[in-house]
Amino acid sequence: MSGSGDNWVYAPDGRKFWGRFGAAGLLVHHLELGVLLQHRAAWSHFGDSWGLPGGARHEHETVLEAAVREAEEEAGVPAHLLRVQFTSVLDLGFWSYTTVVVHATARFEPVISDRESIALRWVPIPEVDELPLHPGFAESWPELRARLTP
């Protein structure tokens, strides 16, 4: 696809990051169910860890558009049930990742719709830290959790 961001970006120290134009993920929060997490396929970057549905931004795509598109593709997240709460950005200068935090206005069942997920599940907030988390999500989770609002 022209304008696709699906490619690696390399840091000066050799670390690699997915998304030519950066990446975005969606943290879906439901007051009763907790947060929607994705168990990442073993073959993926930091595979077999839990994190957010998300991925590479496409050229000319906003972070909100990218996060919602990826969550819809990977987890069947219905965009019409989402209300944006806030965003959190990790900006490394040469690459960035934006977490878009949304409130789900109604219950829905996530659906595995591509090979990037082993499982999808609603996780009560106190139980998130018990899972083997994607390193980037693990680092950002304490701040994100503190900012979640009912």
Domain parsing of the chain, residue ranges: 8-147
Q: Quick one: pLDDT at residue 33?
A: 97
**Per the structure block, which two tokens stand in for 19?**
């998304």
Q: Quick one: pLDDT at residue 85?
A: 96
Residue type at position 15: R
- H-type alpha helices, the chain: 63-75, 135-147
Q: Tell me which CATH code domain 8-147 carries.
A: 3.90.79.10
Q: Quick one: pLDDT at residue 46?
A: 76
pLDDT per residue as tens digits for the range 16-42: 988 899 999 999 999 999 999 999 887
Sequence-distant (6+) residues with CB within 8 A of 115 are 41
Torsion from C-alpha of 124, 125, 130, 131, nearest 10 degrees: 80
User: Structure pTM?
Assistant: 0.90
Rounded Cα distance, 73 and 91, in Å: 25
Q: Quick one: pLDDT at residue 2?
A: 61
pLDDT per residue as tens digits for the range 46-71: 778 999 999 999 999 999 999 999 99
Sequence-distant (6+) residues with CB within 8 A of 40 are 46, 47, 48, 49, 50, 51, 116, 117, 118, 134
pLDDT per residue as tens digits for the range 90-129: 999 999 999 999 999 999 999 998 888 899 999 999 999 9
